[in-house]
Amino acid sequence: MKPTETIKDGQRTLSEIFSQPQCWTTCLGKLQASAEFRAAIQISRARTEWIFVGCGTSYYLAQAAASTFNYFNLPARAVPASDLLLYPALTLHPERDYIPVVISRSGRTSEAIRAAQMLEKDRNLRTIAITCADGQPLEEVCTVTMKLLDADEQSTVMTRSFTSMLLALQYLGATISGKDAFRDALVDLPQQVEPLVMSMAERLQHFARARSFSDFVFLAQGPLFAIASECMLKMTESSCSYGQVFHSLEFRHGPKSIAGPETLIVFLMSETSYAAEVELLEEMTALGAANIVIANHVDKKAESFADLAIELSLESPEFARSVAFVIGGQLYGVYYGLKKGLNPDSPKNLSRVVELADSH
């Protein structure tokens, strides 16, 4: 790009979204060859609980990583850095052993750094950091730092950094637990997803331009709930719209009161919960809501109730394809923001890094 060229609103974020499959291949290739990755494996211990710590998008990443580790029979949970700092007794117990993983794209997020300092110095726990930046304060605090420098973005919102760091943590868990087939599926995923990205973009751009809504709801179960949460956040950040997220079947228990013509419900459907979620989709259609369905396979019944159905048709296992689902939320958030005349590259009230003044 020439210095005098102007960048159209949203183009940085869109280019970063489109770059994800290639970025995943690059990041996983460098990760598995790195000394830091081998050091992270060495830290792992049997019968130890993994604690994934993050803020904002990194917290939803922590939830998704914890879900996968539990699937590998590696006990894990996700905690917001703020909760770990303010209520440590709710997470840390003296008689238990922990491996904390602190997540921060920039390596400069204040709460993440403070949480890592507390874990290392006050609790004498060896921590693993994962970041997309080099030589930042988080790296100085943690015992091991896995760096995915190719995944960093210029844009404010996290897109490829989220998916790349999630894949890296899933790859770590698969390696530690000896799930070689799962690990191979992660390596194969980029070439399966790459042809889907532009087709998803075209359909979601058209849908965003054609329909307007006042409420946006994202629903998912199991491994996709954290992904739905991140899609909700992308909708809020990129388009300054009010979004909500629920476990799919929980939506019946009160929240469905908002269902109607002004409500768009985005269903991220996984295989295990597919039949139950299609029943909910039918119910929400009857209540007048508009629906987008994103699933690996979409049958005729689901397609008949959806205003837009996106079928991924990936060969990867259910837990290994999570990152593919978030792309739809990333794209729709950008396109709806552009529809509203906003610039998703620089959302209102947001900065790339949340750095807090030191408290005394």
CATH number at residue 209: 3.40.50.10490
CA distance 114 to 92: 15
The answer to whether residue 274 sits within a structural domain is: yes
Which of 109, 144, 178 is the C-terminal boundary of a domain?
178
The answer on 127 and 101 residing in a single domain is yes
Query: Residues 97, 224: one domain?
Result: no
Are 140 and 271 members of one domain? Answer: no
- Assess if residue 156 is contained within a domain: yes
Q: Are residues 258 and 164 in the same domain?
A: no
Please name every residue paired with 144 in a beta bridge, in sequence order, or none if there are none: 128
Report yes or no on 351 lying in a domain.
Answer: no
Question: Are residues 33 and 109 both part of a single domain?
Answer: yes
* pLDDT score of 273 more than 80: yes
What is the structure's pLDDT at 23? 98
Domain membership flag for residue 133: yes
Residue 86, pLDDT > 80, answer: yes
SS3 content of the chain, % helix, strand, coil (to 5): 55, 15, 30
pLDDT (0 to 100) of residue 360 = 39
Angle between helices 20-32 and 160-176 (to 10 degrees): 40
The confidence score (pLDDT) of residue 347 equals 74
pLDDT at 352 over 70: no
| 255 and 307 both lie in a single domain | yes
Residues 6+ apart with CB under 8 A from 134: 147, 149
CB 130 within 8 Å of CB 144? no
Number of domains in the chain: 2
pLDDT per residue over 232-243, tens digit each?
999 999 999 999
Identify the residue whose tokens are 């029979």.
Answer: 73
pLDDT band at residue 46 using 50, 70 and 90 as cut-offs: confident
User: b or e along 143-159 (b: 16 or more beta carbons within 10 Å of the residue's beta carbon)?
Assistant: bbbbbbebbbbebbbbb
Asked whether residue 171 falls in the same domain as residue 197, the answer is no
**Distance between CA 332 and CA 229 in Å, rounded?**
14
Closest to 238 in 3D by CA, of 353, 158, 337:
337
pLDDT for 359 beyond 80: no
Contacts of 184 (CB under 8 A, 6+ apart): none
pLDDT over 60 at 4, yes or no: no
Mark whether 165 and 195 lie in a shared domain.
no
The pLDDT, as a whole number, for residue 351 is 60
211-231 pLDDT, tens digit each: 999 999 999 999 999 999 999
Contacts of 232 (CB under 8 A, 6+ apart): 216, 218, 243, 244, 245, 329
Domain that holds residue 247: 190-339
The answer to whether residues 62 and 86 belong to one domain is: yes
Look at residue 137 and tell me if it is in a domain. Answer: yes
- Strands of the sheet containing 128-131, edge to edge, are 76-80, 49-54, 98-103, 128-131, 144-147
Tell me, yes or no, whether 70 lies in a domain: yes
Looking at residue 346, its pLDDT comes to 84
- DSSP secondary structure code for residue 360 in this structure: -
Please state the pTM of the whole predicted model. 0.94
353 pLDDT band (50/70/90 cuts)?
Answer: low
Residue 171 has pLDDT above 80, yes or no: yes
- The SS3 assignment for 131 reads strand
pLDDT tens column, 295-334: 999 999 999 999 999 999 999 999 999 999 999 999 999 9
Q: Quick check: 6 pLDDT over 80?
A: no
User: How crowded is residue 294: how many other Cβ atoms within 10 Å of its Cβ?
Assistant: 29
Q: Is the pLDDT of residue 187 over 50?
A: yes
**Res. 354: pLDDT tops 70:** no
Cβ pair 52, 137 in contact under 8 A: no
For the stretch 338-350, pLDDT in tens is: 999 999 988 776 6
- Out of 150, 178, 206, a domain closes at 178
Average pLDDT over residues 44-61: 95
Same-domain status, 240 and 174: no
Same domain, 123 and 167: yes
Whether residue 270 is found in the same domain as residue 300: yes
Percentage with pLDDT > 90 across the chain: 91
- What confidence tens digit (pLDDT) does each residue in 114-138 have? 999 999 999 999 999 999 999 999 9
Q: Calculate the average pLDDT of the chain.
A: 94
- C-alpha to C-alpha distance for 129 and 107, rounded to whole angstroms: 8
Per-residue exposure over 166-185, b if at least 16 CB sit within 10 Å of its own CB, e if not? bbbbbbbbbbbbebeebbeb
Is residue 5 one of the residues assigned to a domain?
no
Residue 86 within a domain = yes
Q: Which of 131, 109, 108, 128 is nearest to 119 (CA)?
A: 128
CA atoms within 13 A on the CB side of 50: 33
